[in-house]
Structure 1
Amino acid sequence: MTTLTEKGARMTDQPGPGDLVVLVPAAWKEVFRSVPREFFIPDSVQAGPMGDEPSYWVDRTEDPDRWRAAVYADTTLLTQIADGTVELSEDTVRTGAPSSSSTAPSLVGEFLDLLDPYPGDRVLEVGTGTGWTAALLSERLGADSVTSVEVDEQVSKVAADHLEAAGYRPNLVVGDGLAGFPQGAPYDRVHVTCAVREVPFAWVEQTRPGGVIVAPWSPVQVRGHKLRLRATGDQAIGRLHGGTAFMMARSQRPGYPSPQGESRESEARLDPMVVTSAGPGLEMVVAALLPGVVVNGIGEGDDRVGLHDPVTGAYALAVRPENGGAAEVTEYGPSDLWSEMEAAYLAWVGLGEPELERFGLTVDAEGRQVWLDQPHNLVR
């Protein structure tokens, strides 16, 4: 069991490791007790919003009690912006794009519970981050059973220091985790800590038949879903287990370049608010019928929907007039994305407006296929 260093010692009236235990599944409580989160958090971080409270900057040297309260709160802590090209500070955090963090403990627990490793299992972790989840896995399975891949060399170095201080030495690799780490394959479990739009087949290839892949899957927009797949050898099949939001894997960030070429104006057949007020099951039909297209607005009940294809550069924006009537559509590029969005929505209605939980995913060498209720019932 890990012990706290003098720097990590705490008073009995301050928050500490035990405060996280109530947030996590029963099977992981002792592990969370044994691996204090504070070992893996920098002195200065941005604490994410909780409920109606806004995010806030906290510095251990200036206010150690507030820092500790943030560390042992159920909130995500931002630890890097702009891929490390800009130093994290109270000023820069307002303008820099988040690129690394320590995920909220309850969400960490949910993903580890879905992973459900057995004693003796070998785990590939994609995205070392601060090193905390690598330590949790090491505590559960033994550090020799854990390989963690991080794309950012500096992030990996800091995580190695954190893990060393906490007493864990898993195999740390600097590289693109979307390629996995074939040198250590096969793995019994693959634990992914960054969102992906497309699930790499490399993960399937490197997972032992019967093994499990758990990842945040965000095929359509920033918000995504907890995905659990079971490998069968030449493919992996699984379902969604509720919503989530993670930073996108760097090589799968869609980018948002300015629209190019002449614009086209038209009127929409479909009210954008019908789309933005639809259930999350619509996202799965969009993912199936508009693969790779980024959609902004689903589930937000807004008066507009934006679509962008990062590959072709196609762009569409449909805006509902304030007083109702036909929405105005502006499009650029080689395809009519709004017409495709309307067709996807009507296809979802034609299926009976199924809820998210009825959908699943199959990943094989040809890519991924979305299905409804059963793997043979593909959404085409």
Structure 2
Amino acid sequence: MSIGQRIDQTIREIPPAAQRTPRVLDAMRAVPRHPFIPAYAQALLGPAEIERMIDLDADPDTWWDAVYSDSVIVTQVDDGAGAIKPGADTPTSSASAPSTVADLLGWLNPEPGQRVLEIGTGTGWTAALLSHLVGERGTVTSIEVDATVAEQAAKNLATAGARPHLIVADGAGGCAQRAPYDRVHVTCGIRDVPYAWVEQSRPGAVIVLPYCPGLGNGHGLRLVVMPDATAHGRFTGFAAYMMMRSQRPPTPVRDDGGGRDLTTRIDPRTIAFAAPGALLAMAALTGLQVTYKQQDDQVLLWAMDQDDPGIWTLVVHEPGRAEFEVYELGDRPLWDEVTDAYFRWVSWGEPGRDRFGMTVTPEGQRIWLDDPERGRLA
């Protein structure tokens, strides 16, 4: 199968959606993915993200099939301290699934001649796509925090013939020297939107990022910069990326035995599997880090104070129980806060993700429902 046929096969796997524009799909045809994928990597295949190691030398057919599928390819684990191998479960850099790349680029809608700031170079594939979309009259500045990842991305980009301006730094500070920007494209999960990105963008600029507040899956957020140097926008759909390193949640403090054993009638799966609108409401109203894990027939749900990892709550679902065990460490009733926020969302009529938005100002960010002025949540 030719490269062109493989690319067309990948594009056929991407479900049609308004944000997956013909210009973006044409860029994917013009900028092949394979020069940005290492010979040995961990592929997370399909929506179920089934893990499979791919090795170009040992099994080229599987490698090519994975690279030209709608799958995530993990290229680094443990910030480079560990080796890519079966069972490695702490990915820290990857080539995102083509459908997710197409979504964010479609929401961004970069035009020829524009100045683009990319946060998170990764493999370099998206930087190459952006360079193609803005053309020779445009510029792309791409920032990568990991020097080893940045070095490999530079090699990948040179092989592909793309020439963005590459910087090794924490992307939270942007790059004021090359501002102002018309577009800001973010390829890492963000909990707190750095105001530097707004400040370095011209009025009318678009900022697209994966908003990952620590509760459930992430959300695509499309902001537009206003003349008063604020930014407003709405949540556009699903988008989950690895967290920006400077915004990763802290490690929970180990149990000191001083916690409280409680029970709840509320099934923790109600929170774990909540709709996107509920997740946004709970994130806005509580500011907590909430994760869950399915383990045989159990569902384990953790809630943690992101400013004090010594305050956390564990709730356990076991089949057949009328009440579920709750263990709380610290003096903050996290489970009550989460469930109160969930039922508040229910009382609003269970609004969907597209009814929520965000405003970013020099003082910080706030999430709102329906109206930026009257619907403020946090």
TM-score after normalising by structure 2: 0.90
Q: Distance in 1 between matches of 2:148 and 2:350?
A: 46
Aligned to 1:16: 6
Q: Tell me the alpha carbon deviations over residues 124-178 of structure 1, each in whole angstroms, 9 at most, x when there is no partner.
A: 0000001011111111213651000000011111111111111111100000011
Query: Is residue 123 of structure 2 the alignment partner of residue 130 of structure 1?
Result: yes
Q: AA paired with 1:16?
A: R
Q: Distance in 1 between matches of 2:355 and 2:61?
A: 45
Aligned to 1:191: 185
Q: Distance in 1 between matches of 2:319 and 2:29?
A: 53
1:324 to 1:201, Cα distance in 2 relative to 1, 3 A: same
Q: Distance in 2 between matches of 1:27 and 1:14?
A: 17
- List aligned pairs for 1:123-202, cutoff 5 A: 123-142=116-135, 145-202=139-196
| Counterpart selection for 2:63 from 59, 63, 67 | 67
1:306 to 1:96, Cα distance in 2 relative to 1, 3 A: closer
Shift of 1:49: 2.2
User: What secondary structure sits across from 1:378 in the alignment?
Assistant: coil
Q: Distance in 2 between matches of 1:344 and 1:141?
A: 43
Shift of 1:278: 3.4
Q: Distance in 1 between matches of 2:10 and 2:4?
A: 13
- List aligned pairs for 1:1-380, cutoff 5 A: 11-12=1-2, 15-22=5-12, 23=14, 25-51=21-47, 54-88=50-84, 90-91=85-86, 94-142=87-135, 145-221=139-215, 223-232=217-226, 233-261=228-256, 262-268=258-264, 270-291=266-287, 293-297=288-292, 304-313=300-309, 314-320=311-317, 322-376=319-373, 377-379=375-377
1:231 to 1:160, Cα distance in 2 relative to 1, 3 A: same
User: What secondary structure sits across from 1:248 in the alignment?
Assistant: coil
Shift of 1:277: 4.6
Aligned-pair Cα RMSD in Å: 2.4
Partners of 1:312 and 1:333 within 8 A in 2: no
1:318 to 1:177, Cα distance in 2 relative to 1, 3 A: same
Q: Distance in 1 between matches of 2:363 and 2:298?
A: 36
1:269 to 1:367, Cα distance in 2 relative to 1, 3 A: farther
1:56 to 1:28, Cα distance in 2 relative to 1, 3 A: same
Q: Distance in 1 between matches of 2:318 and 2:63?
A: 46
Q: Distance in 2 between matches of 1:228 and 1:364?
A: 15
Report sequence identity in percent. 43
Comparing 100-109 and 62-71, the one that deviates more: 62-71
Q: Distance in 1 between matches of 2:198 and 2:131?
A: 22
Shift of 1:365: 1.6
Q: AA paired with 1:352?
A: G
1:251 to 1:271, Cα distance in 2 relative to 1, 3 A: same
Q: Distance in 2 between matches of 1:302 and 1:351?
A: 30
1:14 to 1:285, Cα distance in 2 relative to 1, 3 A: closer
Q: Runs of 5+ in structure 2 lacking a partner?
A: 15-19
Q: Distance in 1 between matches of 2:56 and 2:244?
A: 29
Partners of 2:101 and 2:126 within 8 A in 1: yes
Q: AA paired with 1:236?
A: A
Q: AA paired with 1:332?
A: L
Q: Distance in 2 between matches of 1:44 and 1:304?
A: 33
Partners of 1:278 and 1:299 within 8 A in 2: no
Partners of 1:280 and 1:299 within 8 A in 2: no
Residues matched between the structures, number = 366
Q: Distance in 1 between matches of 2:42 and 2:105?
A: 24
